[in-house]
Amino acid sequence: MVGSAIVRALQQSADVNLVSATRDQLDLTDSKRVGEFLNDNNITQVFLAAAKVGGIQANNQFPADFIHQNLMIEANVIHSAHVAGIDKLLFLGSSCIYPKLAPQPIQEEHLLTGYLEPTNEPYAIAKIAGIKLCESYNRQYGRDYRSVMPTNLYGPEDNFNLESSHVIPALIRKFHDAKSRDDKSVTIWGTGTPRREFLHVDDMAAACVYVMGLPTSRWNEVTEPMRAHLNVGCGEDISILELAQLVKRVVGFDGDILLDTSKPDGTPRKLLCIDRIKATGWEPTIDLEPGLSATYEWFLSHSMRLRT
């Protein structure tokens, strides 16, 4: 989802020559192939958006896959970029790197100040390792490897599989299916009280291109004193029950919303402080309701392909 959005954003610049590979063409867990790819293609900048990702249940069920695949991808791409002499790289992390009970809104400085949320700790540890890889190649070799920490993302090309998806695609699919079947209710997971912040993936892609383009002096200034990572979010959060009511309205479902409290809530709140990136001049542009409507439109036009 994020990779395609970054490609769409980069395609708007005439002076960018994009080099990309599909998963079938290049397995990022294969260090030899990654090394050859980065070495042989005359690459000057790397956007590392690829990751093994999933919602709360997938993270909880497959912790080994989440930590192993993400560590492999990051270590291979970041190290091989350095070996290939590539000076600029942008690594995408996640807001789950921060402690479960971090003060809200969460500032960049809160990294490694407390325990992580157990449902996604292995994924979060891998993402923290990615930030530290970038920081270490900068310290030891003078590279300019930057990291951005997105809040929960949504939009076109999301995963709509109910077992492995994040909450927004799950709710779009649940309400759409319930409407098609004329069901009386839709069941959502947990207590509905956790709060999440959501950013449309096109805003995230714009932020990635923008951050990659910041002059080094400006990046250093805005990320002081860590010079490691920048949060990217929309600055507002909403409870899961409120989100469900919004998706219900966007999809046009008339029935009730039920709660399955046997499912985990995850972290109680995850709102990023975006003061630092805003100070550089970047702003999100897509509000949640129109963003959800556009994502539902995308789902409708791709629903045959998404029937899994």
> Are the C-beta atoms of residues 118 and 76 closer than 8 Å to each other?
no
Q: How far is the CB of 78 from ligand GFB (least distance, A)?
A: 20
Q: Interface with ligand GFB includes 231 (CB under 6 A)?
A: no
Q: Which two tokens stand for residue 60?
A: 């909880």
Set 98, 115, 123, 296: catalytic member: 123
Q: How far is the CB of 125 from ligand GFB (least distance, A)?
A: 11
Stretch of residues binding ligand GFB (CB under 6 A), selected from 69-77, 165-173, 271-279, 287-295? 165-173
- Residue in the structure block whose two tokens are 């997971």: 189
Q: Which two tokens stand for residue 285?
A: 């542009």
Q: How far is the CB of 267 from ligand GFB (least distance, A)?
A: 6
Q: How far is the CB of 34 from ligand GFB (least distance, A)?
A: 23
Stretch of residues binding ligand GFB (CB under 6 A), selected from 190-198, 249-257, 277-285, 296-304? 190-198
Stretch of residues binding ligand GFB (CB under 6 A), selected from 5-13, 184-192, 247-255, 285-293? 184-192
Q: Which two tokens stand for residue 107?
A: 């500032």
Measure CA of the first residue to CA of the last residue in the chain; give whole Å: 17
> Are the C-beta atoms of residues 206 and 6 closer than 8 Å to each other?
no
Bridge pairing between strands 198-200 and 256-260: unpaired
Q: Interface with ligand GFB includes 189 (CB under 6 A)?
A: yes
C-alpha distances (whole Å) from 44 to each of 16, 87, 88, 90 are 11, 7, 7, 12
Q: Interface with ligand GFB includes 126 (CB under 6 A)?
A: no
Contacting residue, 59, 69, 70, 147, with ligand GFB by CB under 6 A: 59
